[in-house]
């Protein structure tokens, strides 16, 4: 199977139905009953509250969530490569694209991310975490929006928060007119699924969230995304409750072990 990646124009781990619809979409794409999903919150400096929101949101789904904090590897002691390769889904959170790329480069993560992607781990990311896969993105990491280089696993460029941030749109269209390789523009709540280097599906979890193909010269061509829906309250799957208990028990065990180890 070709490597797959989902680029999101803006998404948060919150309990709103459109945000949940995207989580559900990603989990379903893995094709697993209980997918392993790992959060990489590097771009925002691994903030605890963001990590907590991820776990709180994922708690209602059948999955095995984990996260890797590059800023706390010292304490967490995981083999990053091994951990990422064992996942069904890796979700790269947003923040500063400039910092994300700089930190991944400094830690030698480009090759690990490429390897995981090529080996069939579904990659997903929102905002900076989506743009980092392309040759270029439009980042506000240093204040005013401007072009920043990504890892370049996918061709062309990506611009996120398209409707919400008009300055970003202006900067993107100008850059494309000035010769930047064209690509996609995504509103918050919308995204594109790539297979290999090819876009195969545009989707949107909000009625007004757009997926726009931006052509050379800065021509915007809106695509017609498929609509994602999540119906709150209808996911009382007994398997999820069971899983939740299992996770709690495991966390407790881990706590007991850590305390025993500390002594």
Partner 1 sequence: MEAGNPLLDDYVLELTGRDRPRVCFLATASGDADDYVVRFYKEFAGGRADASHLGLFRRRRGVSDVRAHLLSQDLIYVGGGSLLSLLGVWRAHGVDAILREAWERGVILCGLSAGALCWFDTSLTAYYGSPERVNALGFLPWSFTAHYDSEPARREVFHRELLAGMQRGYAADDGAALHFVGTELHRVVSSRPRARGYALRKDGARVIEEELATEYLGAPAHEGRIRVRPYPALQRAFAAGAAA
Q: Is 161 a catalytic residue?
A: yes
φ, ψ (nearest 5 deg) of residue 129: -70, -15
What's the closest the beta carbon of residue 150 comes to partner 1, in angstroms? 13
What's the closest the beta carbon of residue 245 comes to partner 1, in angstroms? 31
Identify the active-site residue in 127, 141, 157, 204: 127
What's the closest the beta carbon of residue 22 comes to partner 1, in angstroms? 23
How many of the other CB atoms lie within 10 Å of CB of 14? 13
DSSP 8-state assignment for residue 121: P
Question: CB neighbours of 203 closer than 8 A, spacing ≥ 6?
Answer: 25, 190, 191, 192, 193, 211, 225, 226, 227, 228
The residues of the shown chain that bind partner 1, judged by CB under 8 A, are 42-47, 70-71, 73-74, 77, 95-96, 98-99, 101-103, 105-107, 140-143
Q: Are 143 and 134 in contact (CB under 8 A)?
A: no
Q: Quick one: 21 or 97, whose CB is closer to partner 1?
A: 97
Q: Is 127 a catalytic residue?
A: yes
- DSSP string over 85-103: HT-SEEEE--S-HHHHHHH
What's the closest the beta carbon of residue 223 comes to partner 1, in angstroms? 29
Q: Quick one: 22 or 147, whose CB is closer to partner 1?
A: 147
Tell me the C-alpha distance between 250 and 183, whole Å: 44
List the beta bridge partners of residue 154: 134
Q: Quick one: 45 or 152, whose CB is closer to partner 1?
A: 45
Identify the active-site residue in 11, 136, 161, 230: 161
Q: Quick one: 33 or 74, whose CB is closer to partner 1?
A: 74
Residue from 24, 34, 38, 188 nearest 112 by CA: 38
What's the closest the beta carbon of residue 116 comes to partner 1, in angstroms? 18
Q: For Cα atoms 158, 161, 167, give the angle at the middle one, nearest 5 degrees.
A: 90
Q: Quick one: 75 or 263, whose CB is closer to partner 1?
A: 75
Residue 53's H or E segment, with its range, is helix 48-58
Catalytic residues: 127, 161
């Amino acid at each position: 199977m070709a490597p797959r990646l989902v680029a999101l124009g803006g998404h948060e781990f919150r309990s709103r139905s459109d945000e949940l619809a995207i989580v559900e979409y990603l989990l379903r794409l893995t094709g697993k009953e209980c997918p392993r999903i790992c959060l990489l919150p590097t771009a925002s400096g691994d903030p605890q509250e963001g990590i907590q929101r991820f776990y709180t949101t994922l708690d209602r789904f059948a999955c095995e969530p984990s996260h890797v904090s590059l800023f706390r590897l010292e304490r967490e002691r995981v083999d990053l490569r091994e951990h990422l390769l064992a996942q069904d889904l890796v979700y790269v959170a947003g923040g500063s694209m400039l910092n994300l790329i700089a930190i991944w480069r400094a830690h030698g993560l480009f090759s690990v991310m490429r390897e995981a992607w090529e080996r069939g781990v579904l990659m997903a990311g929102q905002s900076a975490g989506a743009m980092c896969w392309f040759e270029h993105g439009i980042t506000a990491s240093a204040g005013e929006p401007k072009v920043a280089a990504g890892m370049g696993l996918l061709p062309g460029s990506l611009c996120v928060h398209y409707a919400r941030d008009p300055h970003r749109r202006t900067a993107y269209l100008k850059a494309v007119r000035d010769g930047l390789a064209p690509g996609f523009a995504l509103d918050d709540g919308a995204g594109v699924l790539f297979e290999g280097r090819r876009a195969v599906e545009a989707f949107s979890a909000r009625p007004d969230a757009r997926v726009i193909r931006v052509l050379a010269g800065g021509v915007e061509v809106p695509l017609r995304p498929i609509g994602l829906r999540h119906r709150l309250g209808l996911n009382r799957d007994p398997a999820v409750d069971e899983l939740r208990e299992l996770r709690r028990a495991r966390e407790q065990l881990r706590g007991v072990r850590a305390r025993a180890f500390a002594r």
